[in-house]
Amino acid sequence: MTFDCVELRGIRAFGHHGANPGEKVVAQPFDIDVTLELDLAQARRSDALADTVDYSTLHATVVRLVRERSYDLIERLGADLLEAALADPRVQRASVRIAKPGLLAGATPAVVVRAARA
């Protein structure tokens, strides 16, 4: 089955994540993209927010998780964000891209984690 997508791109959140000394001392920026795959047929027909994912709520959840939790690896943070993305039972697959701008001179490391409903 082919699913529709809801994407949230360019979420800027600040948090204390990193394995290197000093990375957790001052909040750093993280740029996050979330992609949800789900069936949006009902939302297309009804034009009702209740028939889709409320991306305002998802955005607030992503920002809160980045701000309130602290991990050595952004892969671990990605697992939490995936769990939040899959909390809505209509979401069949999700991916989260987390970039850490400014960490390396001339490069931006990023991690993409994906999950599908079992």
Burial environment of residue 30 by CB neighbours within 10 A (0 to 12, 13 to 18, 19 or more)? buried
| 100 has catalytic annotation | yes
- Which residue in the block uniquely carries the two structure tokens 């305002």? 56
**Measured in whole angstroms, how far is the alpha carbon of residue 12 from the centre of its chain?**
11
Which of 15, 32, 100, 113 is labelled catalytic? Answer: 100
**Alpha-carbon gap, residue 39 to 28, rounded angstroms:** 35
Q: What is the DSSP letter of 45?
A: H
**Residues designated as active site:** 100
